[in-house]
Structure 1
Amino acid sequence: METHMIFETHAHYDDEAFEADQEEILNSMQECGIGRIVNACASIESLKDTELLMEKYPFVYGAFGIHPDDADKMTQETLDEIRKLCQLPKAVAVGEIGLDYYWHKEEAEHELQKKMFCAQMEIAREEKMPFMIHSREAAKDTLDIVKDYVRGGMYGGIIHCFSYAKEMAREYLDMGLYLGIGGVITFKNAKKLKEVVEYAPLSQIVLETDSPYLSPEPNRGKRNDSRNLIFVAREIAQIKGITEEEVIAVTEENAEKLLLR
């Protein structure tokens, strides 16, 4: 019988939270049922760190892009670097990219974020790569940009750490995109997200942690890592009335189809 392993589509193992025991944790993944991991870039420094992780661990892949929080640090050189890294054999996506208005309230900041978001979506289109979207308190602008690009032809993508309501989920699902579901689904107060997961077809869900952030129950508040994904799979299984094995198998298949083609 084929054994399925959890495919972790979004983690940050280059984060300083893993400085002391990164190797130990990553070396324990396979025996804990984690088959593959995508290390997603966020900062400019993480481009190089992700490339190194990808080279060191056969099961680690890379998503290359800059988080909207660092939009003001990006130059043409950064974009050229992302493009170059996307051509590596184990590069699987452009990400994490998008919009984050939580800390950034100024119109000028929003404009700069949108500009850099679009520049990276262009790279995804030209390099025929899927994208990984980060969107926080920027629901409408994110949707407008994604819609615009998908209309012009893209190669799929994940709305990472999906946090909006069912109506917004429908928009993304109708475009054939995937929702990244992580630890928040296990929180008691995550009513909105539980409704989204109930509504979304399993064939358009992928598992992710956003490690070291957003640990699921029962480890909420502690440093997160991919081994906690079993709690996420369990919660999705419960919501959908299926087995956790089915959740693991289908989400693994989804991630392979999108990221490893």
Structure 2
Amino acid sequence: MLIDTHCHLDFPDFAPEQAEVVARAKARGVGRMITISTHLSRFDRVKAVAEAYDDVFCTVGTHPHHSHEEAEPTVEALVALSQHPKCVGLGEAGLDYHYNHAPRELSRRVFRTHIAAARESGLPLVIHTRDADEDCAAILKEEMGKGAFPALLHCFTSGRALAETALELGLYLSFSGVVTFKNAEYLREIARDTPLDRMLVETDAPFLAPTPHRGKRNEPAFVVDTARLLAGLKGVSEAALAEATTANALRLFSKMPALKEAA
């Protein structure tokens, strides 16, 4: 069984066939999905999706693209919302210097607020980072020095230095369909070198459909194709890759019930 640790089932892309999308994922052996919050103000939509399906869980937080559009969150508000039974993490939050939608100082401040909420709640932080490797590494090192917190770098596409820093700090790396792209050899090299016990898989659906689905709307069922490529890179069977990444996801997102408890 695989776990898609990052998708956006609340997005309008899935509205016409949300139930069918979940069913297709389960039919391909994707037994759990985590639908990720991007707007704190829209958490009701995210948690409604998680409430609708036994094996869909969620996070709460504000994406760096939207931190200037949303009321700045407090640690107390994030922790309170994260107590929802189906909420298993914080975020996605972090830094994005590629698009610079939000002022960088605001993004850094909101990122630190999410880190503090992860530290206080014990729930993992889903980190989005793009073209901000140095600042992300610096913040992670500084904040980890204040007290450990669980976290992962989602849809990892950054450089080797940030990967090594994250792994040294105890974080996980999550790989999406980008690792299957023709021009992503540098990323495949990082994936080869990532310890199997620190690797996660995701779709980031509806974005970034892996080969052979490029050009289509991505969906959780397609995480199988990313996992297949990663298994080849690691020199293990698809079953072994699935077993390892599922164990990792359950260890990190420890609020999710054990598989024997799933409906």
Both proteins in one fold, TM over 0.5: yes
Unaligned runs of 5+ in 2: 256-263
Q: CA deviation at 1:42?
A: 0.8
Partner of 2:215: 221
Contact 1:203-1:254 at 8 Å conserved across structures: yes
Q: Does 1:53 align with 2:49?
A: yes
CA distance in 1, matches of 2:63, 2:240: 32
Contact 1:128-1:154 at 8 Å conserved across structures: no
Q: Does 1:154 align with 2:112?
A: no
Q: CA deviation at 1:50?
A: 1.1
Deviation track 1:152-187 (CA, whole Å, cap 9, x = no partner) reads 223311100111122221111111110010101111
CA distance in 1, matches of 2:220, 2:148: 28
Kindly report which structure 2 residues correspond to 1:137-148, keeping only aligned pairs within 5 A, or say none.
Answer: 137-148=131-142
Partner of 2:23: 27
Kindly report which structure 2 residues correspond to 1:1-261, keeping only aligned pairs within 5 A, or say none.
Answer: 5-76=1-72, 80-104=76-100, 109-261=103-255
CA distance in 1, matches of 2:211, 2:117: 37
Residues 16, 81 of structure 1: alpha-carbon distance in 2 compared, 3 angstrom cutoff: farther
Q: CA deviation at 1:31?
A: 2.2
CA distance in 1, matches of 2:120, 2:73: 17
SS of the residue 1:251 aligns to: helix
Q: What is the RMSD computed on CA atoms of the aligned residues?
A: 1.6
SS of the residue 1:236 aligns to: helix
Residues 206, 146 of structure 1: alpha-carbon distance in 2 compared, 3 angstrom cutoff: same
CA distance in 2, matches of 1:80, 1:23: 33
SS of the residue 1:29 aligns to: helix
Q: CA deviation at 1:229?
A: 1.0
**AA aligned opposite 1:147:** K
Unaligned runs of 5+ in 1: none
Contact 1:237-1:244 at 8 Å conserved across structures: yes
CA distance in 1, matches of 2:10, 2:167: 31
Greater shift, 40-49 or 76-85, is seen at 76-85
Deviation track 1:65-120 (CA, whole Å, cap 9, x = no partner) reads 10001111232567654322211122111110001111218xx8100111111111
Contact 2:118-2:150 at 8 Å conserved across structures: no
Q: Percent identity?
A: 34
CA distance in 2, matches of 1:150, 1:61: 26
Normalised to the residue count of structure 1, the TM-score between the two structures is 0.93
